[in-house]
Chains A and B, each alone.
Chain A
Amino acid sequence: MTLPAVGLFGASDLLKAADPTPPYQPTFFSEPEWRFIQAAVDRLIPSSEEGPGALELEVPRFIDRQMQDTYGSGGFWYMQGPFVPTAPPTLGYQLRFAPRDIYRTGIASVDRWCSNKHHQVFADLPVEARDDVLGQLQHGEIDLGDIPSAAFFSQLLTSTREGYFADPIHGGNRGMGSWKMIGFPGARADFMDWSDQQGKRYPLGPVSISGEEG
């Protein structure tokens, strides 16, 4: 079978090749922190033939932008003392760290722990070792010093899922990749025409707030 030349290298691809989007430069995370974030989110939601991973959907960009937002500085949380980190977990978050502090403190501690244990920072570990470290963080099995490792992991996973599923306007979920994978029509937000066709799969793909269609 012979394919027309334009089919192999479509017009939009030609444009991309001529003018590649420069990689996102983080404004909050330092270079070592940025490498950690990329290496971590890539394992929390990996890429496979089932669907896109957090890295290709630009979740790290989302997290970096959130850190520069009210959210990152803890502006949405009540952050007055006294802090009682020993309160029962059922009474909720009681640390004095805003999200920015959780990342800054947590990443440095994990990289320090990895360097001591494996002689490499987290981002340089092979994937199996990274998964193992993430699993230990999740279960609170690594002593990070000032911050409980489960609290750090929880922040990391929460941010990753948010960036994976939030509207692309926030910097992640590039091309609405996660929405296409699960079948969420995004900001379409009008199903009047489907109210009498219940039980049949909704046929339309997603749209985003900025008008992107997928």
Chain B
Amino acid sequence: MISNKPVDAVIVGFGWTGAILGMELTEAGLNVLALERGNYQDTSPDFVYPKIADELAYGIRGKMWQPLAKETLTVRHTTSDTAVPYRQYGAFLFGTNVGGCGTHWNGQHWRPSPEDLNLRSHLEQRYGKRFLPENMTIQDYGISFAELEPHMDRFEYVCGTSGQAGNLNGTIVEGGNPFEGPRSRPYPNPPVADIHGAQLFAKAARTLGYKPFPQPASNASRAYTNPYGVRLGPCNLCGFCERFGCFMYSKASPQTTILPILMQRPNFELRTQSHVSRIVMDASKKRATGVMYFDPQGREVFQPADLVIVGAFQMNNVRLMLMSGIGQPYDPATGKGVIGKNFAYQMVSGVEVFYDKDVAINPFIGAGAGGNQIIDEFNSDHFDHSSLGFVGGGYIYGGQTGGRPIQQLMVPPGTPPWGEAWKKAAKDSYLHTTFVGTHGSVMSYRDSYLDLDPTYKDAFGMPLLRMTFDWHDNEYTMSRFLTDRAVEIVKEMKPRQYAVLMNKPGGHFDVRQYQSTHTTGGVIVGTDPSTSALNRYLQSWDAHNVFVIGASAYPQNIGYNPTGLLGGLAYWSAKAIREMYLKNPAPLV
């Protein structure tokens, strides 16, 4: 076995959390090594125009996605089923290479609502202890919104997020989201200009008494220099955003916000094509001594390190903890154990909105996030749930992110999928169709979890992760409520025709249709080592020099996109490491 020279800190995975922790720990003077299983990629030469404007290569074949041929996961609906592999992309799109999903994301940049962070105690206090279903295993983060705010703020300023504040230090600001938690500063950039579908949505929503506001977007609305001195360019609404790298240097990603500085630091090193297989523990099983990884030649290498930062995608963080034997694996039969516990997802629905030819939507004009309009009346606990039969909620949005015809072309309901009638419908609808969607939370449940698959293996012969997940009544009811509100707005938009797409009771989680890449949980944060894997600083309860940072830490999924919270948690955890852990390497709680 090859053994490398020790480093102060090793980072597993080099996306958003890896880049942020790399920055923070090198600033603290540590020698930091990041191990990334994929390759290096950057705006130039990898995302340059016009080669990037290739829907087939990026949007459909997935040039920036994790190659499933080498590694995937298996899926089943219940513990009595046999899981089978996720063989082709559908429901979610994992990332690979430097930047990971943080490079091919949309830039939808949200904070959670304050009550999302102490959800169980908040709901029990407002509605009583018997309000929540017995099998719902939601928990508090153990971190307050006020504690996280400066870190979420910092991440927004690094990303150059464009938006309109709705609550500045407790004062409600016209035109922003009046339901958001108090923010200490405005967004660093003004909102991206609305696209036409969003304008139609906002007008209708306003008529119905809602308070629409521009989608907070890490698609820069103007030239911007972030606190690290890295410059972003203005978004040109190219329509090739999510699933693509940004050729305009506008979409925030590790490449466009952090790496130009971090890669120059003498105490930082990145090794690509380095696939971490497990964290190595000492004889006491209380402390990690480093990680094992496969180098580009396929050799197993031991990398000693005093500090291990697990910063891969949510699924990979969970798998690495299970393969390393850190923390007790979760057992749904007893509800005991913590690793793999509380897997959650996102419940989405949509309404396709068809206009006559006098309405020019120009669907190809779009940013991944900016330009759309939102209402947030029915997210989190912004509304009274006492008689609704569910908890949670989501936002409703209007607009679109592009009009790439293989993926995004919509035809009216009842159109045959092929033949002359389909072609004519495609021709007649394309320029005159927009979208209204809902983006809903998913609670955690005793029977929704992740463990290692007993049968299927990855390219290195190691077990795949196994997902056991299906929808629950709470989410069906929530989605029905949210979708009904969306349809009311759509009717007010006065289209010629509309079509509703939603999950309905009696169905099952379906991996074939893209829904969201917002998978969460499995290595969750909390206040009690018997019910969570991490303490409030995202430090493993079981191995004090292992910090696991990512959406894997969410005890349940919020109704917002996860990246804003994820970046905030990364800076929060980094501060705890710098100010407390490095002075006294021990459990912080």
State the A residues within 8 Å of B (CB). Answer: 43-46, 48, 50-51, 53, 71, 74-80, 82, 84, 87-94, 131, 134, 138, 157, 160-162, 165-167, 169-170, 178-179, 181-192, 194-196, 198-202, 207, 209, 211
Find chain A residues with CB under 8 A from B509 CB: 90
Find chain B residues with CB under 8 A from A134 CB: 418
Evaluate whether A77 and B427 lie within 8 angstroms (CB atoms) in the complex, with A90-B510, A167-B55, A209-B54 already known.
Answer: no
The A-contacting residues of B in range 409-450, CB under 8 angstroms, are: 409, 417-420, 422-424, 426-427, 430-431
Establish whether residues A201 and B431, one from each chain, have CB atoms under 8 Å apart when the complex forms.
yes
Establish whether residues B69 and A192, one from each chain, have CB atoms under 8 Å apart when the complex forms.
no
Closest Cβ–Cβ distance, residue B51 to chain A (whole Å):
6
Closest Cβ–Cβ distance, residue A161 to chain B (whole Å):
6
Q: Bound state CA distance, A84 and B431, in angstroms?
A: 42
State the B residues within 8 Å of A (CB). Answer: 49-51, 53-56, 60-62, 67-69, 72, 75-77, 82, 84-88, 90, 193-196, 199, 234, 236-240, 247, 359-360, 362, 364-365, 371, 403, 405-406, 409, 417-420, 422-424, 426-427, 430-431, 455-457, 507-512
Q: Point out the residue from B60, B422, B430 that lies within 8 Å of A182, measured CB to CB.
A: B430
Establish whether residues B418 and A162, one from each chain, have CB atoms under 8 Å apart when the complex forms.
no
Q: Point out the residue from A50, A199, A200, A209 that lies within 8 Å of B51, measured CB to CB.
A: A209
Establish whether residues B75 and A91, one from each chain, have CB atoms under 8 Å apart when the complex forms.
yes
* B455 closest partner in A (C-beta): A82
Evaluate whether A202 and B365 lie within 8 angstroms (CB atoms) in the complex, with A190-B236, A192-B236 already known.
Answer: yes
Find chain A residues with CB under 8 A from B87 CB: 77-79, 92-94
Closest Cβ–Cβ distance, residue A140 to chain B (whole Å):
14
Find chain A residues with CB under 8 A from B239 CB: 189, 191
Establish whether residues A165 and B237, one from each chain, have CB atoms under 8 Å apart when the complex forms.
no
* A46 closest partner in B (C-beta): B420
Establish whether residues B240 and A189, one from each chain, have CB atoms under 8 Å apart when the complex forms.
yes
Find chain A residues with CB under 8 A from B90 CB: 92
* A41 closest partner in B (C-beta): B418
Find chain B residues with CB under 8 A from A182 CB: 405, 409, 426-427, 430-431
Evaluate whether A76 and B508 lie within 8 angstroms (CB atoms) in the complex, with A167-B56, A181-B427, A183-B430 already known.
Answer: no
Establish whether residues A199 and B196, one from each chain, have CB atoms under 8 Å apart when the complex forms.
yes
Q: Bound state CA distance, A205 and B276, in angstroms?
A: 48
Establish whether residues A169 and B54, one from each chain, have CB atoms under 8 Å apart when the complex forms.
yes
Establish whether residues B238 and A178, one from each chain, have CB atoms under 8 Å apart when the complex forms.
no
Establish whether residues A50 and B424, one from each chain, have CB atoms under 8 Å apart when the complex forms.
yes
Establish whether residues B365 and A138, one from each chain, have CB atoms under 8 Å apart when the complex forms.
no
Establish whether residues A92 and B409, one from each chain, have CB atoms under 8 Å apart when the complex forms.
no
Find chain B residues with CB under 8 A from A167 CB: 53-56
Find chain B residues with CB under 8 A from A187 CB: 49-50, 53-54
Q: Bound state CA distance, A87 and B82, in angstroms?
A: 8
Establish whether residues A192 and B234, one from each chain, have CB atoms under 8 Å apart when the complex forms.
yes
Q: Bound state CA distance, A82 and B239, in angstroms?
A: 40
List 13 additional A-B contacts (Cβ < 8 Å) besides A45-B419, A170-B56.
Answer: A46-B423, A48-B423, A51-B427, A78-B68, A92-B86, A157-B418, A167-B55, A185-B364, A187-B50, A194-B365, A196-B193, A198-B194, A202-B362
Closest Cβ–Cβ distance, residue B217 to chain A (whole Å):
13
